[in-house]
Structure 1
Amino acid sequence: MWDFSATKLIEQYKSGVLSPVEVMTALLTRIDEVNPKINALYEVDAAGAMAQAEASEARWKAGAPMGPLDGVPCVIKDSFAVKGMVMLRGLKARRDVAPDTKDCPPVARLREAGAIIFAKGTMPDMGFLGAGVNSANGVTRNPWDLSLNTGGSSAGPAAAVAAGLAPISVGSDVGGSVRLPATHCGLFALKPTAGAIPHLPYSRDRAAGPITRDVSDAILMMSVLGLPDAEAYEPGMDIPATLTPADLKGKRIGLMLSIGDSDAPAPEVEALIRKAAEVFKGLGADVTEMDNPVPFPFLEALTSYFAVKAASERAGLPEDRRGDMLPILTRCCDKGDAMSARDFAKALSTVEKAALAVNRATDAYDLVLAPTMPVANYPAEFTSADPEFPHRGVGFTALFNQTGQPAATVACGFAGTSPVGLQVIGAKGEDAAILSACLAYEAARGPLKPFPQTVGE
């Protein structure tokens, strides 16, 4: 049962072939076997999971499911408030924080839809890194190859779904944080249009998003996550629970293989992205390779912007614990503290200019294809593909948080033992179009390698 999608589980529940109790029992057994090898989950409420599964089973037997995700186990990222669970945000400094007393909006919507909320997934300190390393829990490892990184910052949720510890998860994305781990773990993820998923506390950069094994499960999750919330600022978005594959005939699609001063895609990554573009051509799309849409450096300015945000969060920690974080975070926070208002304004202006440039360039197309990450992967213990420059790998993802455009990643092949993801980008509000296009690509691409049944053997 561990590799069943949410959509398949719902079908099985409807027909009475499986029950949520059977599924949750099987997943808890798999968690006991696999989680010690990958370190994806830092808190598992087994008793609560079984109680939720029993209640779901009773509803299904009565023919009265609570919602479209009734009985589907779901892993929640460490940056989300879950009633009764602790939020560490990857930080050793928060090791004795009290459990949260209320669900944040995305968790509340999932719970209202009947999902079984039972585990918290790891993330790097403050969500600042695109890697699966943190001071609170250590290294999270990739189920496809334990020597490789999961990406981040939704590291644990992605690793958990790829390893079959849960069929679905929800993460958050400030610069690529659902897309990067999804590409490294062979999954699908959507960073939706800004405001499509209500969330608290409010952030202009961050978006919550689903991380799943296939596109259909993400669509089902979006139909729930996009519902409005009375306390949140974002309006939400109406996404149907099912969509049909897009007709791509005549669609104008840009192929973006360079952006600003980001590293160029590694040859094996570029080859897979070009192969994916050929699939879109085969579906009738008009694919055109784009010039670099941001003809100036922006990554150092982006790191400066993130450093000030990190320094602000560190300032909120108890003074005697501010050193209880990864050394790379300490250096970045120190940089943020030392930055003058003038230099911060200059960095922010550069980021905004880059966002405007990429928005204008992508506006000429119905969709844009790009690598999600310029390299296939790097060692599990690394905090970045370039340990001295933690945001070197987010060049293709981060600006779409600044523009507010939706961007998804879908697995397009393997480079050695590591999955590689294709990023699919659209205009604001065109989330359904991206999801439909990804459905069409997923079907035309055909199946890839099955998810790893055994981990670390």
Structure 2
Amino acid sequence: MTEIDLSALTAAELVDGYRSGAFTPLDATRSVLDTIAEHDPAVNGFVRVDPDGALAQATASTERWRARRPLGGADGIPTSVKDILWTAGLPTIRGTWLIDEAGPWPEDAPAVARLREAGAVIIGKTTTPEFAWKGVTDSLRHGSTGNPWDPGLTSGGSSGGAAAAVGLGMGPWALGTDGGGSVRIPASFTGTVTIKPTYGLVPLYPASPFGTLSHAGPMTRTVTDAAALLDVIAGFDSRDWSAVPTPQTSFLAALDDGIEGMRIGFSPTLGYAKNDREVERLVRAAVGVLESEGARVDEIDPGFADPVEAFEVLWFCGAAKVIDAYPPGAIDRIDPLLREGIETKGRGSAADYLDATAVRMDLGRLMGRFHETYDLLVTPTMPITAFERGLQAPEGWPSVWWPSWTPYTYPFNMTQQPAASVPCGITDAGLPVGLQIVGARHDDARVLRAARAYERASGELFVRPVDNPRGAR
């Protein structure tokens, strides 16, 4: 065994070590399992860890690397899966008492299947709120998930367990899902990296009840790792009627080509939001870094009003269909706030749904035109930093509904555009802030390229909170 803390390494660094023989996938998996045992009790990032299965997969990967026949750049990388995505051999409970964990669980979701084909080591399932319905991670069944920087604060949601896992070295990368911000909210709150890819690039099966709002994507510590994981999971799957063809070019191919001459629109508020002072300061400084790298930046709003009412109609109609699929009385066994949302926002008419869809189509058309002028749109990922664990909104906030404090994320689920979040600094209180980079549909590679350019130029290397705890300078 090596004395290196392998749980602190990125996926790219692990592959380099496997290739050189400095350590093995079995070494890395043991280190990650030790890290989970040490840190997960404080944050509740996992609902299930599969040490026996993970060690068996890691042993097989070690043998492939020793024979110099790895399956690719994901072979032997310890990976967690959000407990929304089917994972063969492991229950998918989705944070609810309505699902019985008794098997069998015979089938993988498409992204999980691609990971297995690539030799990744599935270490377990990460926490989610019930049916991934909200922007914090807590449920009646599994409790709440804390933030790596301060376990008393939320990690965000709904992929909060995945973000906590990545943030603490409990696996260098994770699979999350995003229907209104669910990978970007926790990435911003935990100082990690993510991209919500163009809709259909990462197939989903079973189909999400939230329909074409829902995306699946990578959660990592670096942009390079995010691009590498997206390479693995972005592949056509016939089970998803809306899946797009498998990309023919790696997302790593032009990742370091820089942003000289790119046209970027910077909107600090989208015309309707309001940011904490330090969020505004750090995001503006990050935009300055993009300018220093040769991008042409204009401060401009894209020109749409807050689409929250239309989003909530689409969202809660989907949530209502989730619960309607269960036997009578199911609605009385779920998160009370979810029940309230379904009853007050999710029982509208077909005309209401079509009106919301029309708002969505108008928004997509407007953003399509915006990207005729600008390659990218940059905003804060979140207007705030992480707040108290167990709350549904910051203390004193005027609304308990999660879209009220996530104004920058859900619009781009409605438009199906790729949107990344990359850490852009730490507040005076010692909490991370995220920069959101949005691209035109199918322009994921450009989004990642800009995120990488910022990451490289800013000198902001990922630091695990356990190595640099909240408040450290």
TM range (shorter): over 0.9
Secondary structure of 2:316's partner? helix
Equivalence for 1:437: 450
Alpha-carbon distance in structure 2 between the residues aligned to 1:252 and 1:297: 24
The answer to whether the 8 A contact 2:138-2:145 is kept is: yes
| 1:390 has 2:398 as partner | no
Match of 1:36 in 2: 41
CA contact (8 A) 2:263 2:296 kept: yes
Q: Could you say which residue in structure 2 is the equivalent of 1:267?
A: 277
1:347 aligns with 2:359: no
1:92 Cα offset (Å): 2.4
Pairwise CA distance, 1:171 = 0.8
CA drift of 1:80 comes to 0.4
With normalisation by structure 2, the TM-score equals: 0.91
Q: Which runs of 5+ in 2 are unaligned?
A: 1-5
Correspondent of 1:60 among 33, 57, 65? 65
Name the structure 2 match of 1:378.
387
Query: Counterpart in 2 of 1:251?
Result: 262
Cα distance per residue 1:169-215 (max 9 Å; x no partner): 01111111111111111111011112211221344221111000001
Is the CA contact 1:132–1:383 (under 8 Å) kept in the aligned structure 2? no
After superposition, the C-alpha distances for 1:326-377 in whole angstroms (9 at most, x for unaligned) are: 2110101112453223333333333333343344334420111111111122
Residue 165 (structure 1) aligned to one of 166, 170, 173: 170
Counterpart selection for 2:12 from 7, 24, 32: 7
Q: Which shifted more, 325-334 or 338-347? A: 338-347
Counterpart position of 1:177: 182
Distance in 2 of aligned mates of 1:344 and 1:240: 38
Q: 2:143 aligns with which of 125, 138, 145?
A: 138
Q: Secondary structure at the match of 2:329?
A: helix
- Displacement of 1:4 in angstroms is 0.5
Task: Determine if the alignment matches structure 1 residue 285 to structure 2 residue 292.
Answer: no
The answer to whether structure 1 residue 419 and structure 2 residue 432 are counterparts is: yes
Aligned partner of 1:223 among 228, 231, 238? 231
- In 2, the alpha carbon distance for the partners of 1:354 and 1:66 equals 42
Contact 2:222 / 2:462 at 8 angstroms: preserved in 1? Answer: no
**Equivalent residue for 1:276?**
286
Could you report, residue by residue, the CA deviation over 1:65-114 in whole angstroms, capped at 9, with x for unpaired residues?
12221110000011100001111212122254535211111000011111
| Aligned mates of 2:100, 2:402 — CA distance in 1 | 24
How has the CA–CA distance of structure 1 residues 249 and 456 changed in structure 2, closer, same or farther, with 3 Å as cutoff?
closer
Alignment of 1:45 with 2:45, yes or no, is no
CA distance in 2, matches of 1:303, 1:228: 30
Q: Which amino acid aligns with 1:298?
A: P
Q: Read off the aligned partner of 2:96 and give its amino acid letter.
A: L
Equivalent position of 1:205 in the other structure: 213
How far apart, CA to CA, are the structure 2 residues paired with 1:267 and 1:31? Answer: 35
Residues 267-304 of structure 1 deviation map (CA, whole Å, 9 limit, x = unaligned):
1111111000000110111111013521x342122112
Counterpart-to-counterpart distance in 2, 1:303 and 1:277: 31
1:141 Cα offset (Å): 0.3
Q: Give the alignment's Cα RMSD to 1 decimal.
A: 2.0
* Corresponding letter in the other structure for 1:404: Q
The answer to whether the Cα contact below 8 Å between 1:197 and 1:237 also exists between their aligned partners in 2 is no
Task: Indicate conservation of the 8 Å contact 1:358/1:399, yes or no.
Answer: no
- Check the 8 A contact 2:425/2:460 in 1, yes or no: no
Determine if contact 2:192/2:462 at 8 Å carries over to the other structure.
Answer: no
Q: Which of structure 1's runs of 4+ aligned residues deviate more than 4 A?
A: 454-457
Give, in whole Å, the separation in 1 of the partners of 2:165 and 2:124. 10
1:317-336 to 2 correspondences below 5 Å: 317-336=326-345
Equivalent residue for 2:419?
407
**Mapping 1:16-35, distance limit 5 Å:** 16-35=21-40
CA contact (8 A) 2:259 2:450 kept: yes
Q: Contact conserved, 1:239 with 1:432, CA < 8 A, in 2?
A: no
Contact 2:45 2:164 in 1 (8 A): yes
Report the AA paired with residue 143 of structure 2.
G
* AA at the equivalent of 1:148: L
Aligned residues: 455
Question: In the aligned structure 1, how far is the partner of 2:326 from the partner of 2:16?
Answer: 46
Native 8 Å contact 1:256 1:368 kept in 2 = yes
Distance in 1, matches of 2:151 and 2:57, equals 32
Equivalent-residue separation in structure 2 for 1:251 and 1:80 (angstroms)? 36
> Conserved in 1, the CA contact under 8 Å of 2:392 and 2:401?
no
* C-alpha deviation, 1:228, in angstroms: 2.3
- The aligned amino acid for 1:75 is S
Q: For residues 437 and 155 of structure 1, do their structure 2 counterparts lie closer, same or farther at Cα, with a shift above 3 Å needed? A: same
Moved more, 171-180 or 195-204: 195-204
Map residues 140-159 of structure 1 onto 2, 5 A cutoff. Answer: 140-159=145-164
Q: What TM-score, normalized to structure 1?
A: 0.95
Q: Which amino acid aligns with 1:34?
A: H
8 Å CA contact 1:412–1:422 kept in 2: the answer is yes
Q: Is the 8 A contact 2:318 2:346 kept in 1?
A: no
Cα 1:273–1:99 change in 2 (3 A) is farther
1:391-444 alpha-carbon deviations (Å, 9 max, x no partner): 113321112222221111100011222211101111122111111121111110
Distance 2:444 2:302 in 1: 24
Counterparts in 2 of 1:291 and 1:24: CA distance versus 1, 3 Å: closer
Distance 1:356 1:115, change over 3 A: same
1:433–1:267 CA distance, 2 compared to 1 (3 A): same
Deviations 1:253-278 (A, max 9, x none): 100122364x3122111111100000
8 Å contact kept, 2:424–2:460: no
Q: Which residue of 2 aligns with 1:85?
A: 90
